[in-house]
Each structure stands twice: as structure tokens, then as C-alpha cells.
């Protein structure tokens, strides 16, 4: 979801628009104004079609946002953090910080979205009846009633990671007591549903509905990838459970003096030694950290003119990890801070460095050893 525009916050949750959203918003508006409303309500002016089409598109995406807020509000009540809600080409997604702790929590979070859409469908239907004499008001409300009902029913399909797939996982988790096994089976069902979408879309493409069929194929592709990714995350969660930062960190970290020239550091330690980050210390006292990110920010021609201390991140601005901290918890914090490596401390003393590369190497070794 990189390349997203933050609109603001609701209940402390950042609301974002992904760049792909603008494409689908334009397509929805064009479809409504150029085809749907002219067929359903002939006789309006072209301007009216476009105004009602644009307003309906905005209300539709507001409905998608409310659907995701339904998930998010329940997640917050279940003590599950919500990082953001992002609207993108396939609708919307609420990105939660952790998996729910219980099957009941998973069920309540998953079902909240479809229930919200069903409520919106009912409200839209009642409002459309109350203004039945005014077509320009009835048209968008009737459309919203139908589209929210379809949104609820679509999301209740038991294909993980759709809401129905999460409901299925919650049920399997409750019955079997094993989160990973429940995720595996829900993901398998999700992939099966995805292949049905792909086959159905391809059939429609050959039967003349090329664009609609292509869209269905894309949806199936997205569901399949998301189902695979979700199971891999569950496996990773199992492997990392109980693992501490001390178990994974690199215990030997190179320390360089603050007056060392940046070009010398690059030549001797980065290119020559394959190192990616360094503690900067003078007189035995650590003053900061310098990484490839710091170095890249300096043009090549200026690196001979600057000392390491002029480019480093000061120690009081560094995000630190405790050696006894849980790896899963630290990874969540790193995602939120958008960092890939963190110095590790023990009672205030710097011990080493935790990096995603260390973690990948650790997991690779475990896989090779079969543990």
C-alpha cells in the first residue's frame, strides 16, 4: 500500500487513498454517468447524469469506508490495533497491527463489516422509498441499497481473506483450537474460490464480456495471492512465537570513529567488508548510528568532505530494542516506524543490531535444519 495519500483520521485511525483508487473512482463515475443512469432513468440532461454519477460514486466509496470502519471499531474493542484504512482498486482494507487473540474476537471483527453493509443497504432502501417522487435522489439511494447488499454478500463468500473466509477461520479455530491449522484450511478454501473466480472471468471474456471477465479474473488473482500470503504469515507467526531479539540479533557490530571520512567508510567497510550499519563512538561512548540510508542521502562527490559524525543519526534519535523483547512485537514496531534495522540494548548497554536480514538468515537455517 505504498504510494497512498493520507486524508485524515477517524477515531485515531489514518484514512488513506491508494493511487489505484483514483482509477477505479473514475471508472465507477464514468460507468454510472455514461451507462447505468441513462438506461435506468432516461430523459435527464448530460450534466445531471454526471453530477448524480459523481455523487453516487462518492457515496459508494463512503460505504466501503464505513464497512472497513465497522471492522476497525470492533477490532479496537477487542484490543487489536488498527494501523490504517486504505481505499484502493479492489475496495478497501483495514490494516490491523496483530491477529485477534481468540476465535471469538476474530469472528466479531470479521462479521462487523458485512453487518455494517447490510445496515447501510437497509437505510438506503428506506431513504429511497421516502423520496420516491424525486428521481435524482431516488437513483443514488436505490443504487447504494443494491450495491451495499452485494458488498455484504460478496464479502460473506467463505474464501479467505474475504470476511466470510475469516468467519470460516474463526469457526475452525474455535473447533480445533489451532490458529495455524484453521488459517491453512481457510486459505485453501480461499484459493479454491479464487480459481473459480478466475475460471468464471475467463469464460465471460470468451463469451463476449471481455472487460467484466477481466475484472473478475483480477479479483480472483488478488484473492489467491492474499490467501497464500495470509497462510505464510500464520506459519511465520508460529515460527517466531517465543523468540526474543537476543536469539536473532547480530552480536558483533563494527564501531567507527566520528571523525572518519564518509568515503573511507564506504570503501573500507561497506564495499570492502560488506557491512551495512555502524555504531559511531568516540572515547568509548556511542554517539550515534550510521546506515546505508544515511550514506545514500549524501551525493557521491561530497562524501570525501564529510565526517561520519556529520551524517549519523544521533543516539537519542535512534529507535532501540530491548534484548529480551519478543521478535513479533519488535517487527510490528519496526513496521510502524518504517525501519529495517534496530540497535539492541540490555540495561542501557548496546549489545548489537537486529535486522530483517538477521531474521531471514535465522529462519533459513531453521528451515534447512527442519526445526
3-state secondary structure the chain: CCCEEEEEEECCEEEEEEHHHHHHHHHHHHHHHHHHHHHHCCCCCHHHHHHHHHHHHHHHHHHHHHHHHHHHHHHHHCCCCEEEEEEECCEEEEEECCCCCCHHHHHHHHHHHHHHHHHHHHHHHHHHHHCCCCHHHHHHHHHHHHHHHHHHHHHCCCCCCCHHHHHHHHHHHHHHCCHHHHHHHHHHHHHHHHHHHHHHHHHHHHCCCHHHHHHHHHHHHHHHHHHHHHHHHHHHHHHHCCCEHHHHCECCCCEECCCCEHHHHHHHHHHCCCCCEEEEEECCEEEEEEEHHHHHCCCHHHCCCCEHHHHCEEHHHCCCEECCCEHHHHHHHHHHHCCCEEEEEECCEEEEEEEHHHHHHHHHHHHHHCC
Same domain, 249 and 278: yes
More confident residue, 364 or 149: 149
Asked if pLDDT for residue 336 goes beyond 80, the answer is no
pLDDT in tens, 250-295: 766 677 888 888 888 888 878 877 677 787 877 666 778 887 878 8
Least confident among 29-33, 204-208, 213-217, 320-324: 320-324
- Which one of 217, 241, 265 terminates a domain? 241
Task: List the catalytic residues.
Answer: 68
CATH code for the domain in which residue 300 is found: 3.10.580.10
Same domain, 149 and 214: no
- Which one of 241, 265, 297 terminates a domain? 241
pLDDT in tens, 169-228: 999 999 998 888 888 898 999 899 999 999 999 998 888 878 788 888 988 898 888 888
Q: Which domain holds residue 134?
A: 4-156
Residue 163 lies in a domain: no
Asked if pLDDT for residue 53 goes beyond 80, the answer is yes
Asked if pLDDT for residue 51 goes beyond 90, the answer is yes
Residue 110 lies in a domain: yes
Same domain, 151 and 115: yes
pLDDT in tens, 92-119: 888 887 788 899 999 999 999 999 999 9
Same domain, 103 and 233: no
Asked if pLDDT for residue 11 goes beyond 60, the answer is yes
Q: What is the number of structural domains in the chain?
A: 3
Same domain, 186 and 119: no
Asked if pLDDT for residue 337 goes beyond 90, the answer is no
Same domain, 150 and 208: no
Same domain, 228 and 273: no
Amino acid at each position: 500500500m505504498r504510494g497512498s495519500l493520507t486524508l485524515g483520521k477517524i477515531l485515531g485511525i489514518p484514512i488513506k487513498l491508494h493511487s489505484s483508487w483514483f482509477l477505479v473512482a473514475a471508472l465507477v463515475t464514468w460507468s454510472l454517468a455514461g451507462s447505468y443512469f441513462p438506461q435506468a432513468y432516461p430523459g435527464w440532461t448530460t450534466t445531471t447524469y454526471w453530477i448524480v454519477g459523481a455523487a453516487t460514486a462518492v457515496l459508494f466509496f463512503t460505504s466501503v469506508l464505513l464497512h472497513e470502519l465497522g471492522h476497525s471499531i470492533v477490532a479496537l474493542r477487542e484490543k487489536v490495533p488498527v494501523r490504517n484504512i486504505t481505499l484502493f482498486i479492489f475496495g478497501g482494507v483495514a490494516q490491523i497491527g496483530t491477529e485477534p487473540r481468540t476465535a471469538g474476537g476474530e469472528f466479531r471483527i470479521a462479521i462487523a463489516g458485512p453487518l455494517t453493509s447490510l445496515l447501510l443497504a437497509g437505510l438506503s432502501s428506506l431513504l429511497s422509498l421516502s423520496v420516491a417522487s424525486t428521481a435524482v435522489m431516488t437513483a443514488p439511494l436505490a443504487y447504494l441499497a443494491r450495491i451495499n447488499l452485494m458488498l455484504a454478500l460478496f464479502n460473506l463468500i467463505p474464501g479467505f481473506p474475504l470476511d466470510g473466509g475469516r468467519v470460516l477461520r474463526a469457526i475452525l479455530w474455535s473447533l480445533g483450537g489451532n490458529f495455524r491449522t484453521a488459517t491453512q484450511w481457510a486459505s485453501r478454501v480461499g484459493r479454491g474460490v479464487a480459481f473459480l473466480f478466475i475460471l468464471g472471468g475467463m469464460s465471460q471474456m470468451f463469451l463476449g464480456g471481455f472487460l467484466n471477465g477481466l475484472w473478475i479474473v483480477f479479483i480472483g488473482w488478488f484473492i489467491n495471492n492474499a490467501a497464500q500470503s495470509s497462510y505464510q504469515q500464520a506459519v511465520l507467526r508460529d515460527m517466531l512465537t517465543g523468540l526474543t531479539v537476543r536469539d536473532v540479533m547480530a552480536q558483533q557490530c563494527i564501531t567507527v570513529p566520528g571523525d572518519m571520512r564518509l568515503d573511507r567508510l564506504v570503501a573500507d567497510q561497506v564495499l570492502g567488508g560488506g557491512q551495512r550499519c555502524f555504531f559511531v563512538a568516540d572515547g568509548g561512548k556511542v554517539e550515534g548510528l550510521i546506515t546505508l540510508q544515511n550514506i545514500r542521502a549524501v551525493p557521491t562527490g561530497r562524501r570525501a568532505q564529510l565526517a561520519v559524525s556529520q551524517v549519523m543519526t544521533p543516539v537519542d534519535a535512534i529507535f532501540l530494542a530491548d534484548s529480551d523483547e519478543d521478535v513479533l512485537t519488535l517487527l510490528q514496531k519496526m513496521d510502524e516506524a518504517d525501519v529495517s534495522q534496530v540497535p539492541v540494548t540490555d540495561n542501557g548497554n548496546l549489545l548489537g543490531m537486529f535486522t530483517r536480514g538477521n531474521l531471514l538468515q535465522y529462519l533459513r537455517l531453521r528451515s534447512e535444519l527442519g526445526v
